[in-house]
A = this chain, B = another copy of it.
Amino acid sequence: MKEKIIEKAIELFEKKGFSTTSIQDIVDELGVTKGSFYYYFSSKEQLLMDIYNEYITNLLDRQTKIIANKTLSPKEQLIEIIRLLIDDLIENGPRARIYFREMRHLSENHINTIKKIRKQFRKNIEMVIRTGEEQGVFKNQLPADILAFALLGLTNWSYNWYTPAGEIPPDQLVKIYSELLLTGLLDKDH
């Protein structure tokens, strides 16, 4: 039941937004009562936090595995992180969109918890870039922290428009983003 509530909540939060979705809305669709909801969650915010936690923890775990894989070069790790984010978009689109949009509705404490993990995720990307720079694979005149933000912007923005069912399959999107990020727009002969 708890899981069912979370699933339905994700569906509705994505469609209508957190504050526009009432607990009544959620339980109505499940055919249970509000009392039930409060048996499993102490508050609406707690439910949101559960969704956040599950989401970001999972993402960080998968990223950690990529980084721990020492058989991959920094360049390959970077590509794998892009792949991770595009894959996630496909698997957990609704969850991710909620993640980007509704942070404001968490309590200050919860926000800090999430922000810490989020920062860790970003710092990991930064580290990969730095390693690449040290190895001379990446240019070293660009600041790694900004580049990490840039990578995240590139991929995260996709949640706003990309649908895997369209012309571009996920694999190709990863390829395009990787190519762009690694070699840029300009033609070599110019």
Q: Which residues on A are within 8 Å of B, measured CB to CB? A: 16-17, 19-20, 75, 78, 101, 104-105, 129, 132, 136-140, 142-143, 146-147, 149-150, 152-158, 161-162, 168, 173, 176-177, 179-187, 189-190
What B residues does A157 contact at CB under 8 A?
149-150, 152-154, 156-157
Closest to A186 in B: B182
Contact between chains at A158 and B149 (CB < 8 Å): yes
| Distance (whole angstroms) from the CB of A152 to the closest CB of chain B | 6
A174 to chain B, nearest CB (A): 11
Q: How many copies does the complex hold?
A: 4
Complex: A129 Cα to B184 Cα, angstroms = 13
Task: Decide if B142 touches A176 in the complex (CB within 8 Å).
Answer: yes
Q: List 8 A-B contacts (CB under 8 A).
A: A17-B104, A138-B185, A150-B176, A150-B177, A152-B157, A154-B157, A180-B181, A183-B184
Contacts of A187 in B (CB 8 A): 136-140
Q: Which residue of the partner chain, among B104, B105, B142, B153, contacts A156 with CB atoms under 8 Å? A: B153
Measured CA separation A142–B180 after assembly (Å):
8
CA of A98 to CA of B105, assembled, Å: 15
**Closest chain B residue, CB of each to CB of A167:** B143
Q: Which 4 A-B pairs have the closest CB atoms?
A: A153-B157, A184-B184, A183-B184, A19-B19
In Å, the complex CA distance between A163 and B132 comes to: 27
Contact B186 A150 (CB under 8 A): no
